[in-house]
Amino acid sequence: MVRVPTHRQPTHPSIILSEEFLEPMAITQTELAKAIHVPYQQINDLINHREAITPRIALRLAKFFRTSPDFWLNLQMRWELYCVQQQEGEEIEQIIPCNSIAIET
């Protein structure tokens, strides 16, 4: 089970990619796109929060940066869960867990 931070907004995956990988390694978006065999626009959209990390991209980033695909997908999932939790949190709070419901036979 993925735990979503409740005390702060999780870091967007594109910020991790940019600030923890590309910048310290002096890799441009163009160089990354060529290295992982995807269009430049896809990397640019990812960096600019217009595209999410997909399993396809996660596999490519993992291979290139010697990380795991799970690392990239978990970053994306935590971001998305946080966003939905912010949008629908009140409605979700109103859901009664199934073990609390009396089941009549």
Label residue 99 by pLDDT band (50, 70, 90). confident
Instruction: Answer whether 33's CB lies under 8 Å from 39's CB.
Output: yes
101 in any annotated domain: no
Give 9's contacts (C-beta < 8 A, 6+ positions apart). Answer: 82
* Residue 5 pLDDT greater than 60, yes or no: no
- Name the token pair of 9: 């907004």
Give the structural domain span for 25: 13-94
Number of domains composing the chain: 1
100 in any annotated domain: no
The 10s digit of each residue's pLDDT in 49-78 is 999 999 999 999 999 999 999 999 999 999
Instruction: Answer whether 54's CB lies under 8 Å from 62's CB.
Output: no
What's the rounded Cα separation, in Å, for the pair 94 and 69? 34
Distance of CA 83 to CAs 6, 43, 87, Å? 11, 22, 6
User: pTM, whole model, 2 decimals?
Assistant: 0.81
